[in-house]
Structure 1
Amino acid sequence: MFSANIFTLYPEIFPGALGHGIYQRASEKKIWELNVKNIRDYAYDKHATVDDKPFGGGSGMVLKADVINECLEKNSNDYKTYYLSPRGKVFNQELANEFSKLKGINLLCGHFEGVDQRVLDHRNIDEISVGDYVLSGGESAAVVVLDAVIRLLPGVLGNENSTKEESFNNHLLEYPQYTQPRKWRDLEVPEVLLSGNHGEIKDWRLNQSQSITQRLRPDLWTKHCNKSKKN
């Protein structure tokens, strides 16, 4: 069973979207579990202080190294800890695939102006980011990461082949999808998809993926071309 461990100041946010649909069913089938710890429970003083002003001045507050370390220490496990931060390594499909092969992960959610650097250094905590933008806290980012990872776990999706044809596999975006009705507002489904010729359908979808990737994500297209050359 995959173990997802969240360390946060706002445990009430979870499970959120992860408590519904395929994620809820997968949890009930013991494919994965969610453990949420409130960082504030590990504060030392009667006011449950978890943050303080940054040394050197500046706006905002910084989460205290001693409190975070106490929280992580008292809930120690064998899984790698990642701090959700806008300056971290960008989380992508490759990383989601990598995480899905692990037995579990720890996700540390920052808030305010972040966390004291010393606890990251002391515990060798890597940083990951869900994109080049700033969120008010790491909680929503944690949901994004777990959403991407859990759906890759064996038994979560009804059709295991679903993840093999999605965007970002082989550095290509997914081809367009169509369903009933065949004609809608004078717009028709591409004829090849109605032909029943699986070879032609496969070629059409590949061509569409390549065209869309080249047009919308030239960075991915370059990676795809480089990978194709190596193979």
Structure 2
Amino acid sequence: MKIDILSIFPEMFTGILTESIIKKAIEKQIVEIKVTDFRQYAEGKHQVVDDYPYGGGAGMLLKAQPIFDAVDAVKLPEKKPRIILMDPAGKPFNQKMAEEFAREDQLIFICGHYEGYDERIREHLVTDEVSLGDYILTGGEIGAMAMTDSIVRLLPGALGNASSAVHDSFSSGLLEHPHYTRPADYAGMKVPDVLLSGNHAVIEDWRRRESLRRTYLRRPDLFDSYTMSEKEEQWLEEIKNEEGTK
């Protein structure tokens, strides 16, 4: 996969590209990531990337020309990239979207600043408008970093354990179950006996049940889009009784 990030502050990405999973994925040539300062594609002596909005109003808008030209410059030949506009008006980013993007050959992120974008960027260039959530950031860089991290870890070979991404929270539709490691007894706080039993079928049932419990207590809204098995429905009723709610 190739990921291109268009930003007028490319230095912001130095840390994320040189540490942890992303660094290893780049070294293993699983992904190629390039950050491009789209100011270098702006026309004119001063390479201006923003201008006042027609009709008046506060703030400045990113001009269409530098971004259109930058996208043309980084696009892979004979490929149709997903061009992602980081924008608070976009669809909220989630795990399903990350999995979809991870199947693409190329992603191009456009990181904006100022008051917004020339609407022609949105109408004639972008394939996806995405937001991290219902809050405002100074620019699109932090959103692009978060999405890049989420997507890269899904690429085959990026994680040391191939099953890790499958069992992450949200990948199954539920929050992830609790985890424990050695020692089995730390300052009187003990690991649940079931995890020490060696019975993998029983352990798997416990993990699934605790995943339901955690989702019920913390993110019950996830059940709206999750289809439970008959056994899970029974477990959930038991959990509700155990937690003292119906």
The equivalent of 1:160 in structure 2 is: 162
The equivalent of 2:88 in structure 1 is: 86
Of 104-113 and 53-62, deviating more is: 53-62
The equivalent of 2:48 in structure 1 is: 49
Give the 5 Å matches for 1:123-138: 123-138=125-140
Contact 1:100 1:152 in 2 (8 A): yes
In 1, distance between residues paired with 2:71 and 2:49?
A: 14
Amino acid at match of 1:109: C
Aligned residues: 227
Name structure 2 gaps, 5 residues minimum.
231-246
In 2, distance between residues paired with 1:228 and 1:84?
A: 37
Contact 1:3 1:34 in 2 (8 A): yes
The equivalent of 2:184 in structure 1 is: 182
Match of 2:203 among 185, 189, 201: 201
In 1, distance between residues paired with 2:223 and 2:216?
A: 5
The equivalent of 1:18 in structure 2 is: 17
In 2, distance between residues paired with 1:228 and 1:108?
A: 41
Identity %, equivalent residues? 43
Deviations 1:41-65 (A, max 9, x none): 0111222211112233333211111
In 1, distance between residues paired with 2:203 and 2:163?
A: 16
The equivalent of 1:3 in structure 2 is: 2
In 2, distance between residues paired with 1:110 and 1:8?
A: 7
Offset, 1:96: 0.8
Contact 2:84 2:126 in 1 (8 A): no
Amino acid at match of 1:12: E
In 2, distance between residues paired with 1:163 and 1:39?
A: 33
TM-score, scaled to structure 2: 0.87
Amino acid at match of 2:74: N
Offset, 1:16: 2.2
Contact 1:86 1:129 in 2 (8 A): yes
In 1, distance between residues paired with 2:147 and 2:14?
A: 13
RMSD (CA atoms): 1.6
Of 124-133 and 158-167, deviating more is: 124-133
Q: Does 1:38 align with 2:40?
A: no
Give the 5 Å matches for 1:104-143: 104-143=106-145
Offset, 1:122: 1.8
The equivalent of 1:149 in structure 2 is: 151
Offset, 1:124: 4.2
Contact 1:18 1:147 in 2 (8 A): no
In 1, distance between residues paired with 2:58 and 2:184?
A: 57
Match of 1:210 among 209, 212, 217: 212
SS at match of 2:45: coil
In 2, distance between residues paired with 1:183 and 1:54?
A: 64
In 1, distance between residues paired with 2:4 and 2:229?
A: 37
Of 12-21 and 199-208, deviating more is: 12-21
Name structure 1 gaps, 5 residues minimum.
none
Contact 1:107 1:142 in 2 (8 A): yes
Offset, 1:35: 1.4
Offset, 1:33: 0.6
In 2, distance between residues paired with 1:196 and 1:111?
A: 54
Contact 2:4 2:107 in 1 (8 A): yes
TM-score, scaled to structure 1: 0.92
